[in-house]
Each structure stands twice: as C-alpha cells, then as structure tokens.
Structure 1
Amino acid sequence: MKKLVATLLVSAFALSAQASGLDSLENFVKSAKSGRAEFTQIVTSPAREGQTARSKTSSGTFEFARPNRFRFNYKKPFEQTIVADGQTLWLYDADLRQVTSRKQAEALGSTPAALIAAAPDLTALRKDFNLEAAGTKDGLQWVQATPKAKEGQLHLVKIGFRGNDLAALEILDSFGQRSMLTFNKMELNVAVSPDVFNFKPPQGADVVKQ
C-alpha cells in the first residue's frame, strides 16, 4: 500500500509539473506582448577525436514586441546584432562589417525566436513544433520543443520558466552544438520603442541577401 501511495504521489507530481511547464509557456506567449532582458549565452561545440569540448561565452541585451519583432545585441566578446523588423531578419557582424538579410517569414518558422517572440499561442507553436513537458531542473520548469521539419539545422529546444517568467533557452542543433541562453532582469509588457526594431546597414558594410 505504501508503494502504491508513493507511486500515485510521484505520478501526480509529474502530471502537475507537466501542466505547469506547458501552462507557463502558454501564459508567456499569450500575455507577454513586449519585453527586455540581459542575456548570457554559452555555446558548446561537440568534442572532436582526441580533444575536449570547446565553449565560448557571450552576453548582451534582448528586446521583443509582438508580433514578430525582436532584437539581440551581442556586446561581449564581439559585437553582433540580430534584428527582426516584421519583414526582414537582419544579422550584422561589426568585426566583419557584413550584413546578412533574409525574408523573415521564411527564416523564423521552426526557430527559437518563434517560441519566445512570434507565436501567439500553443496552437500556433504546434504547427511547427512537438511540445512536451520536460520536468523540473535547476529550479526551473522546462518544456521541450522538437521541430516537425526534419531538414532544418535545429534539433530541439528547451525553454525554462521560473513561474511564468522566461529564464532560459537551451538549443541543440543537428551538428551537436549546444547553446544555453540565460535571461536576467527580465521585464515584461514594458514600453519598447519601435525604433529598436528599425535596422539600416551601416555605411560601408557589405550586404548579403539570402
């Protein structure tokens, strides 16, 4: 009887955790109309034969406004800017003085950006992702999102929530490279100027359209 009670309690906790994680994701995509935060990103490449895995750390700021607008400003160790203005996705590498542009509708479908800044609800997300709860770890409730499209470079994404606040994003690509973003000082539903999402290629920069 004790084992049965314990099993039922564990099952109930697991179901509660699943509901909480998916509920947090749904609450976030429905209620977070805008936001800004600081972020730290650690990218770890898979170990090659005879070598250990390599990682690099970068940091910067993140802002978004629904629908379909966001901006990542990488400040350290190298300056990069990623901007989605609703029509075009821009990537600017300051060191290379190079701008890459793509049509946003073609670029954002099965991407982490769709999870946090584009889709209006879980129904929209489920068009491109299989969603499932991934339990509790490091004090966060996790949801795993697996792209339905198999030909892309994205293998899976895990989204971590502290309550209903976005706290972390873990991304694994098809090459085995893992990227962990942690968000700090997240502010939701704040006034974000539309100018934040306007991007003009700097004078003298090479522009590559894809």
Structure 2
Amino acid sequence: MHLIGQTLRAIARRSLPLSLALMALMALTSPFAVADGINELKDYLRGLNSLSADFRQITISADGGQMIESTGTFYLLRPNRFRWDYETPTDQQILADGSRIYVHDKDLNQVTHSSQKKILDGTPAQLLASEQPVEDYFKLSNLDEGDGRTWVELVPKTEDTEVVKLRIAFTDGQLDNLLMEDRFGQLTRFIFTNLKRNPQLDYAMFRFERPAGSDFLQVD
C-alpha cells in the first residue's frame, strides 16, 4: 500500500489552504431535505464508457498551512484505464493500463510502478474506472452543501486505504466537483471543466512507454 500514498500524493500533492475552501470541504450536512445524489451518481456511472476533462486540483494540508494548485487533463477508459496529465506546476503523468499504475515524474525522469489491483481501494480512480456497482466499495449518503449542486458522500468499506471520505457534486447531471479527504487530514478538490462523456479514446493512450534513460522503480 506504500504506492497508494505516492499515487494519491502525486494525484493530490498540490494544495490551496483557503479557509473558505476548507469550510466548503468540511461543511456539515443540512437537516433539510436533500437531492438524491446517490441515484444521480449511479445514473451517471451507468453507461459510462469513457471520459475526458480538464481539471483544476487544489490540495490543502491537514493544518491548513500549505496550499498547492495544479492543472491538467484527465482521461478515463473503462474498465480500469485512466490517465492524469499534469501540466502545472510540474510536468507529471499518472497512468493505469488495466494491470499496473505508472507515476512518471518527467522533471526527474523517474518512473515508479506497481500492480493496480490493491492500491486503488477507496480512491476516486476506483470509483470512476471500475465497472462494479459503486455500493460494493463505498457506503453512500446524500448531502446538501447549500450551493445548488447535488452532492453524495462516499466512505470506503475497506479499512486498508489512505482515503477516508469522498464527496462528489453534480450540476445539471454533469460531474462538477470531487473532494477527497485522506487519513492524514489532507483535503483535495478536483474541479472539472470541458468534460466530455463517452468520447472516442484509443487504447494506445493508456499504454505506458518507458522513457529512455529513466529510473524505473518497481515497488511491489
């Protein structure tokens, strides 16, 4: 499970300590009637074959003292293939080819890789990439954050994961925000734009080619 720490921090090691954002991430559930985010999530995943989107990622350290922001493009091809291409602040790629996950730090010309079977438990990647029913892996509950979005909270059923909570927001049936809290108290928010549902994606996009001269580190 060591790589999931690397992977999550590679997917999430860029954060923004804004008190307002922190309050939004941790806002209490409204006591009033809430929209049915559970069914909206299930409807969204039903028939989802592929996905592409630009993303803005904001990560807040547990003490709120560090904030890192990054941007890039996300690609998904179900089942179990995804790719995060980070453009700022560093050039990095995280790629899952269906059996292994590769984290490529292009500035360092270093690649770490491991089997993806176990390290995705409870993560947003598992939620989006797996074709298994979402309730097999997560406990689901509806939320009302009072912002006009439809929210659902997901708590991983497995205890052996660094992710303790996910929150997903939909706007007009489209994936909008994804919030992740890890067991270290770090909070990560993904904001998606230019989202395309079921675009035509080539399997070759999810085939990792080892860069010439790179350090290639297997961690399993």
Scaled to the shorter chain, the TM-score interval is 0.7 to 0.9
Higher strand share goes to which structure? 1
In 2: Cα distance, 1:85 partner to 1:160 partner:
27
Query: Is 1:74 aligned with 2:86?
Result: yes
Larger Rg: 1
Query: Is 1:138 aligned with 2:147?
Result: yes
What is the identity, as a one-letter code, of the residue corresponding to 1:38?
D
In 1: Cα distance, 2:211 partner to 2:149 partner:
40
Query: Is 1:34 aligned with 2:50?
Result: yes
Q: Which moved more, 1:53-62 or 1:147-156?
A: 147-156
Query: Is 1:92 aligned with 2:101?
Result: no
Q: How does 1:57-206 map to 2 (within 5 A)?
A: 57-120=69-132, 124-206=133-215
Offset of residue 26 of structure 1: 0.5
What is the identity, as a one-letter code, of the residue corresponding to 1:109?
D
List alignment gaps of at least 5 residues for structure 1.
1-9
Q: How does 1:6-21 map to 2 (within 5 A)?
A: 14=33, 17=35, 19=36, 21=37
Give the TM-score taking structure 1 as reference length: 0.85
Offset of residue 177 of structure 1: 0.5
Give the TM-score taking structure 2 as reference length: 0.81
In 1: Cα distance, 2:204 partner to 2:148 partner:
36
In 1: Cα distance, 2:172 partner to 2:61 partner:
30
Match of 1:6 in 2: none
User: CA contact under 8 A between 1:87 and 1:103: conserved in structure 2?
Assistant: yes
User: CA contact under 8 A between 1:89 and 1:107: conserved in structure 2?
Assistant: no
Select which of 13, 17, 24 maps to 2:40.
Answer: 24
User: CA contact under 8 A between 2:121 and 2:156: conserved in structure 1?
Assistant: no
Q: Which moved more, 1:36-45 or 1:155-164?
A: 155-164
Match of 2:59 in 1: 43
Offset of residue 144 of structure 1: 0.6
Cα RMSD (Å): 1.7
List alignment gaps of at least 5 residues for structure 2.
1-29
What is the identity, as a one-letter code, of the residue corresponding to 1:117?
A
User: CA contact under 8 A between 2:121 and 2:161: conserved in structure 1?
Assistant: no
Offset of residue 136 of structure 1: 4.2
For these two proteins, the number of residue pairs brought into alignment is 190
